[in-house]
Amino acid sequence: MVAGGSGEDFRAEPFRIKVVEPIRRTTRPERERLVEEAGYNLFHIPSEAVYIDLLTDSGTSAMSDRQWAGMMLGDEAYAGSRNYYRLRETVREIMGFDHVIPTHQGRGAEHVLFSTLLEPGQYVLNNMHFDTTRAHVQHRRGIAVDLAVPEASDPCSCHPFKGDFDLDRLQTFLAEHPRESVALIMATVTCNTAGGQPVSLGNLKAVKEIASEHGIPFFLDACRFAENAYFIREREPGWAGRPIREVVRAMADCADGCTMSGKKDALVNIGGFLALRDPELFRRASVWAVLFEGFPTYGGLAGRDLEAMARGLEEVLDEEYLEYRVGQVRYLAGLCRAAGIPIIEPPGGHAVYVDAKRFLPHLGRDELPAQALTVELYLEGGVRGVEIGTVLAGRDPATGENVYPELELVRLAIPRRVYTDRHLEWVALTLRRVWERREGIKGLAFSYEPPVLRHFTARFRPLG
C-alpha cells in the first residue's frame, strides 16, 4: 500500500522517465470484437490493443539510458567482439563462472547445455522445470523430474522458500537410481512454475553437497537470480543487510554453471548465455554453440546486444532497484488481497498469480476457468495476463487425456521498469470489477486444439 506519514517506508520508482511510449485504452465494443476474432485466446490480440500488458516479464523490460548508450558501442565483428569480452568479464565478476557462451535467449543456452551433457534416457532433476527446459530435456529424449518441496504446490502456504528442493526426495531418488542415469541437477531461481518463489541458499548448498557426493553436475537456471538473491537477503537468517552481490556470488558458488535468459534479470529485450566453470565442458559446449547459435563470441546476438546485457547484469544488482521491483509486485498483491481476490501467497518476484479455481468456483475444470478469467480481465480493462492451468498443461502424450494440474492460475507478470504503480492500480481495479460480477462468468471450450503447445494457438468458444 502507499505508505503515509514519515516517508521512511515510502517507496517511489527509483528512476525518472526519459522516453515514453503511448498506450491506448480501447473501448469495450472494440475489445469484444477483438476477443471474438482472437478465438478467446489473448495470444492473438495485437499488443497495440492491450492497455496494460502483463503477459510476461520476459524481454519486456525498459532499458536504461546507460544500456541504450552501450548499444552505440557495439563491435559487430564476427569473432572476438569487445562487447563479448565485456560480457564475459561481467559474468566472471558477478557469478565467478570463467567461461561464457552467449545465446539468443534462455532456451538457446538450454539447447547447448543439454546437447553437451544429456544422453537419451537420462534424468534431469529440477526443483520445477520451466516449460522450455522440460521441452529441451524431452527433445534430447531425457526424463524431467520435479523435486520441489510440497509447499510449492500449496497456494496458501507461506513457506519463505517455496522454490526449495525437497532434499529427502532428492536423496531417495539418487539412492534408487544409478549415478550414470542422472545427467544433471538444476535449480530454477526463482522458481517460475511455483509462482516466482525463491530458493534458499541453505537449500542450494545442500543440493551442491549431495550433487558432488554423487559426482553429478549442478546448474542454476539463473533467469531471475537477482530477485532470488533479494529474497535470500530478506528472509534467510544470517543474510540480512549483506550486499546483493555477495548473495549472488554465494548462490553461484554452489553451481558448476548456469543457463541464463537475459530477457529477465539482465534487463534486455533479447539475449541469454550459458556460463560454465569447467574448461573441458566449455570446449565441448562450444561445438554445439557454433551449430545452433553462432560463433561462441556472439551466440546469435549483435555486439550491441551483448553490451546491453553486460550493463543490465550490473544494473539489476542495484539494491534500490530490487527493492522497488519486488515491492511493486507486492503492491499489486496487496491491492488484490485487500479486495478479497484469491492469489498465491506469498507473492513471488516477478508476478502475481490469481487463483482462478477460487475466483470462479462455479466452473468445472473442463470449463477452463483460468482461460475464462484472462478473457474477462481483457474485456473489462484491456489487461492481458496469461493462463497457467489446464490449457497450458495439455494432454498426456501416452493416454491423450487432459492433464489437470493442481492449480488453475492467471499469471500477471510485471515487466521491469515499465509500468508505474498507477498502472497497477488500474489492474487491481479491473480485477475488482470482474470479481464483483464473478458469478455471472461463463466457461470456455476448445473450438480448435492444436496437437502441441496448444495454449499459443488454440481457439475457444464461450459456453452457455
The C-alpha angle 153, 258, 278, rounded to 5 degrees, equals 140
Question: Rule CB under 6 A: is residue 371 a binding residue for ligand P71?
Answer: no
Distance CA 327, CA 349 (A): 9
Which stretch, 9-17, 92-100, 104-112, 117-125, contacts ligand P71 (CB under 6 A)? 104-112
To the nearest whole angstrom, how small is the minimum distance from the Cβ of residue 322 to ligand P71?
Answer: 18
Question: Rule CB under 6 A: is residue 133 a binding residue for ligand P71?
Answer: yes
Distance CA 273, CA 258 (A): 8
By CB under 6 A, name the one of 86, 88, 107, 136 that touches ligand P71.
Answer: 107
C-alpha gyration radius of the chain: 22
By CB under 6 A, name the one of 261, 328, 374, 390 that touches ligand P71.
Answer: 261
To the nearest whole angstrom, how small is the minimum distance from the Cβ of residue 387 to ligand P71?
Answer: 11
To the nearest whole angstrom, how small is the minimum distance from the Cβ of residue 193 to ligand P71?
Answer: 8
Query: Could you tell me if 155 and 345 are in contact, meaning their C-beta atoms sit under 8 angstroms apart?
Result: yes
Site track for ligand P71 across 8-47, x = CB under 6 A: ----------------------------------------
Which stretch, 33-41, 131-139, 294-302, 310-318, contacts ligand P71 (CB under 6 A)? 131-139
Distance CA 386, CA 397 (A): 23
CB-based contacts of 175, cutoff 8 Å, min separation 6? none
Residues that contact ligand P71, how many (by CB under 6 A): 17
Question: Rule CB under 6 A: is residue 272 a binding residue for ligand P71?
Answer: yes
Question: Rule CB under 6 A: is residue 228 a binding residue for ligand P71?
Answer: no
Nearer of residues 56 and 67 to ligand P71, judged by Cβ: 56
Nearer of residues 204 and 223 to ligand P71, judged by Cβ: 223
With cell 499469471, the residue in question is: 411
To the nearest whole angstrom, how small is the minimum distance from the Cβ of residue 59 to ligand P71?
Answer: 7
Question: Rounded to the nearest 5°, which phi and psi values hold at 31?
Answer: -65, -35
Site for ligand P71 in 174-203 (CB under 6 A): 188, 192
To the nearest whole angstrom, how small is the minimum distance from the Cβ of residue 405 to ligand P71?
Answer: 15
Nearer of residues 107 and 174 to ligand P71, judged by Cβ: 107
Burial of 5 (0-12, 13-18, 19+ CB in 10 A): exposed
To the nearest whole angstrom, how small is the minimum distance from the Cβ of residue 10 to ligand P71?
Answer: 30
Nearer of residues 60 and 64 to ligand P71, judged by Cβ: 60
To the nearest whole angstrom, how small is the minimum distance from the Cβ of residue 4 to ligand P71?
Answer: 35
By CB under 6 A, name the one of 263, 311, 325, 330 that touches ligand P71.
Answer: 263
Where b means 16+ CB within 10 Å and e means fewer, 23-59 reads eeebeeeebeebbeebbbbbeebeeebbbbbbbbbbe
Nearer of residues 90 and 103 to ligand P71, judged by Cβ: 103
With cell 515514453, the residue in question is: 20
Site track for ligand P71 across 53-72, x = CB under 6 A: ---x-x--------------
Q: How many CB atoms lie within 10 A of CB 144?
A: 17
Which stretch, 83-91, 128-136, 146-154, 361-369, contacts ligand P71 (CB under 6 A)? 128-136
To the nearest whole angstrom, how small is the minimum distance from the Cβ of residue 455 to ligand P71?
Answer: 8
To the nearest whole angstrom, how small is the minimum distance from the Cβ of residue 452 to ligand P71?
Answer: 13
Which stretch, 101-109, 142-150, 162-170, 282-290, contacts ligand P71 (CB under 6 A)? 101-109
Helix ranges (H only) for 316-448 are 319-338, 356-359, 369-381, 390-393, 421-436
Nearer of residues 233 and 263 to ligand P71, judged by Cβ: 263
Query: Whose CB is nearest to ligand P71?
Result: 106
Q: Look at strands 383-384 and 272-276 and give their pairing.
A: unpaired
By CB under 6 A, name the one of 41, 64, 67, 105 that touches ligand P71.
Answer: 105
For residue 124, give the C-alpha cell. Answer: 534431469
CB-based contacts of 370, cutoff 8 Å, min separation 6? 356, 387, 388, 389, 390, 391, 408, 409, 410
Roughly what angle, to the nearest 10 degrees, separates helices 244-253 and 82-95?
Answer: 90
Question: Rule CB under 6 A: is residue 299 a binding residue for ligand P71?
Answer: no
CB-based contacts of 111, cutoff 8 Å, min separation 6? 103, 136, 139, 288, 292, 293
What is the greatest pairwise CA distance in the chain? 62
Whether the upstream peptide bond of residue 347 has omega within 30° of 0, thus cis, is: no
Q: How far is CA 246 from CA 12, 224, 249, in A?
A: 26, 16, 5
Which stretch, 100-108, 166-174, 205-213, 315-323, contacts ligand P71 (CB under 6 A)? 100-108
To the nearest whole angstrom, how small is the minimum distance from the Cβ of residue 272 to ligand P71?
Answer: 5
Element of type H or E holding 9: none
Residues near ligand P71 (CB under 6 A): 56, 58, 105-107, 130-133, 188, 192, 221, 223, 261, 263, 272, 413
